[in-house]
A and B are shown apart, each in its own frame.
Chain A
Amino acid sequence: MSITEDEARKVAHLARIAVADADLPALARELSGILHFMEQLNEVDVEGVEPMTGVTAMRLKRREDVVTSGGMADRILSNAPDAREGFFAVPKVVE
């Protein structure tokens, strides 16, 4: 299976990574190469095989449903590129 430039543009947008139009042919080519490599998996008979979710057979641990942490807004905001009045600041989202 090979990927067209248009598909490459769509998947880059889904991944929220800007790709210049001039770079789309190379991206499509690379992605096609990787997918071609992955297609070896089609040789394997996977009939009746369960897809693996985790390597260790273990029940997900549970804990009491209680607040264990919090009250540290300043520390959480300390690395933000733009924080104002206790909030992360972003460009306008809603018109």
Chain B
Amino acid sequence: MTDLNRLTIAGARDALAQREVTAAELTEACLAAISASGRLNAFVHETPDMARAMAAEADRRIAAGEALPMTGIPVGIKDVFCVKGVPSQAASRILSGFRPEYESTVTQNLWNAGAVMLGKLNQDEFAMGSTNETSCYGRAVNPWKGTDGTELTPGGSSGGSAAAVAADLCLGATGTDTGGSIRQPAAFTGTVGLRPTYGRVSRWGVIAYASSLDQAGPMTKSVRDAAIMLGAMASVDPQDSTSADIPVPDYEALLTGDIRGKKIGIPREYRVDGMPDEIDALWRKGAEMLRDAGAEIVDISLPHTKYALPAYYVIAPAEASSNLARYDGVRYGHRARLGQGDGITEMYEKTRAEGFGPEVRRRIIIGTYVLSAGFYDAYYNRARKVRSLIKGDFDAAFGAGVDAILAPTTPSAAFPLGAMDAADPVQMYLQDVFTVTLNLAGLPGIAVPVGQDGQGLPLGLQLIGRPFEEGDLLNQALVLERAAGFVAKPERWW
């Protein structure tokens, strides 16, 4: 077999089971692809020694007949996950030099299942951004290019994960999604990204951004792979009191391809002003595909959609200001060099000014503002009330019998790196218009590549599911994936 790094997780698993390949061979193929991918800047800390040792152990397990579906599968890990002994700094200068003494539950679950750790992946700093340009490691680059050769953003915050999966540097990758950070980069790179229900996957050991919204999930080359990888990542965890004590089903076994009789809602409020015709046409096409497969398409209303973005940009920074208070230059990471007579307050203020990038500083300060005395009710509490109304919109739709909701993932295809440099912060926030609503409601969502724009760039649709019904959601996504038949890959230039 050649180009083993191009395999899907399901394909590699089957080849491993048939003894057609070894985990060691798969791992070497990925390590070679990573070594030749510097221009993408997707992997920021490589762990080849760990990868080889884990692959050897996986081959032993396979030989002993003890293989699980992820055994021997080489994966990339977003930098935000703590991996014991490996730099884990959420792409922030303030955590430079930090090597965790412990392992995140998600990565531990993956290692327990036999997955192979290739290294850490680029992202926006503390997962705050939609272009992977706020990273202390520099921007990651989309393997897809514009027709004129322009370098494009892979999206964010999980931009390195998306770029790595799209460029076949790994078979799958972990991401996190607080406001769209798995789904938007998946849409920009023609890959599949699943954000599970809040509580499906443990947050323990995942460097926190906004705790009531953060959720980790898989980023893969196919819907089937997302089902396999989610099964390995999900668990109830005593270390995360918000993790759900609900059994993890065999998601792959639920991929029947039969969605007859399912009711798919089309939310009229997602038809926003200025939406490109291509996206609108793709959305209609996606609905037709599901209808052709026997689903019933119904128009629905989610009346508070418009307020999701402003509510998100109150709640997420508020939680971030609180979570990021721990970076004080005392326990880990960067500490500023102090001047004569500087006390502890100067140490905090200088350390945090130097350690955090502009977008993170901005969100901490705005979060501090909306939580401060006198503004708490006007901003933070009001946003939390609007959040209740947004969740109520979804509850009403599901209560009326809707099984899932179909919507665009992003307002456009991937755009050039640097395009947002001159934009004000609010323009960047508009990237999240279709994705944040489900984070506020805690729902699962999956981005699936469905078509290409005039330039040949991937475009995606997302399906939003009922809480803890990832199995159904993946099955609907599978139907969409099959009907769309998206097989395009970026031409290798890196």
A and B: interacting chains = yes
Residues of chain A touching chain B, judged by Cβ–Cβ distance below 8 Å, are: 3, 8, 11-19, 27, 30-31, 33-35, 37-44, 46, 49-56, 58, 60-61, 63, 72, 75-76, 78-82, 88, 90-93
Minimum Cβ distance to chain B for residue A48 (Å): 9
Sampled A-B contacts (24; CB under 8 Å):
A11-B368, A15-B321, A15-B352, A15-B367, A18-B346, A18-B352, A31-B362, A38-B314, A38-B383, A46-B382, A49-B386, A51-B387, A51-B388, A52-B391, A54-B242, A55-B198, A56-B244, A56-B467, A58-B242, A76-B331, A79-B97, A80-B331, A80-B332, A91-B342
Prevailing SS type, chain A contact patch: loop
Report how far A27 CA is from B366 CA in the complex, Å.
Answer: 10
Find chain B residues with CB under 8 A from A3 CB.
Answer: 369
B442 at the interface (CB under 8 A from A): yes
Find chain B residues with CB under 8 A from A39 CB.
Answer: 310
Q: Contact at B101–A44, with CB atoms within 8 Å?
A: no
Task: Say which residue of B212, B332, B348 sits within 8 Å of A79 (CB atoms).
Answer: B332
Report how far A92 CA is from B346 CA in the complex, Å.
Answer: 11
Find chain A residues with CB under 8 A from B313 CB.
Answer: 34, 37-38
Q: Contact at B383–A33, with CB atoms within 8 Å?
A: no
* Other 4 A-B pairs with CB < 8 A, given A58-B244, A80-B332, A90-B344: A15-B367, A30-B425, A50-B385, A55-B198
Q: Contact at B379–A12, with CB atoms within 8 Å?
A: no
Q: Contact at B369–A38, with CB atoms within 8 Å?
A: no
Find chain B residues with CB under 8 A from A31 CB.
Answer: 362, 365-366, 369
Q: Contact at A16–B348, with CB atoms within 8 Å?
A: yes
Interface size on B, residues (CB 8 A): 72
Find chain A residues with CB under 8 A from B385 CB.
Answer: 44, 46, 49-52
Q: Contact at A60–B241, with CB atoms within 8 Å?
A: yes
Task: Say which residue of A18, A33, A37, A50 sits within 8 Å of B349 (CB atoms).
Answer: A18
- Residue in A closest to B312 when the chains form the complex, CB atoms: A38
Q: Contact at B310–A40, with CB atoms within 8 Å?
A: yes
Q: Would A17 and B389 be within 8 Å (CB), given that A12-B365, A81-B334, A88-B331 are in contact?
A: no
Prevailing SS type, chain B contact patch: helix
Find chain A residues with CB under 8 A from B467 CB.
Answer: 56
Q: Contact at A14–B368, with CB atoms within 8 Å?
A: yes
Q: Would A34 and B366 be within 8 Å (CB), given that A51-B385, A52-B391, A91-B344 are in contact?
A: yes
Q: Contact at B212–A54, with CB atoms within 8 Å?
A: yes
B137 at the interface (CB under 8 A from A): no
> B305-337 vs A: 1/0 string, CB under 8 Å?
011011101100000010001001111111100
Minimum Cβ distance to chain B for residue A82 (Å): 7
B429 at the interface (CB under 8 A from A): yes
Q: Contact at A52–B425, with CB atoms within 8 Å?
A: no
B381 at the interface (CB under 8 A from A): yes
Minimum Cβ distance to chain A for residue B468 (Å): 9
Q: Which chain B residues (372-401) contact chain A, with CB distance < 8 Å?
A: 372, 379, 381-389, 391
Report how far A87 CA is from B329 CA in the complex, Å.
Answer: 14
B426 at the interface (CB under 8 A from A): yes
Q: Would A76 and B101 be within 8 Å (CB), given that A88-B330, A91-B342 are in contact?
A: yes
B277 at the interface (CB under 8 A from A): no
Determine which residue in B198, B332, B333, B442 has the highest number of CB atoms from chain A within 10 A of its CB, and name it: B332
Report how far A13 CA is from B2 CA in the complex, Å.
Answer: 58
Find chain A residues with CB under 8 A from B61 CB.
Answer: none
Q: Contact at A81–B387, with CB atoms within 8 Å?
A: no
Q: Contact at B424–A56, with CB atoms within 8 Å?
A: no
Report how far A88 CA is from B332 CA in the complex, Å.
Answer: 10
Minimum Cβ distance to chain B for residue A12 (Å): 6
Find chain B residues with CB under 8 A from A52 CB.
Answer: 384-385, 387-388, 391
> B349-376 vs A: 1/0 string, CB under 8 Å?
1101100100001101111111010000
Q: Contact at A49–B426, with CB atoms within 8 Å?
A: no
Report how far A18 CA is from B198 CA in the complex, Å.
Answer: 35
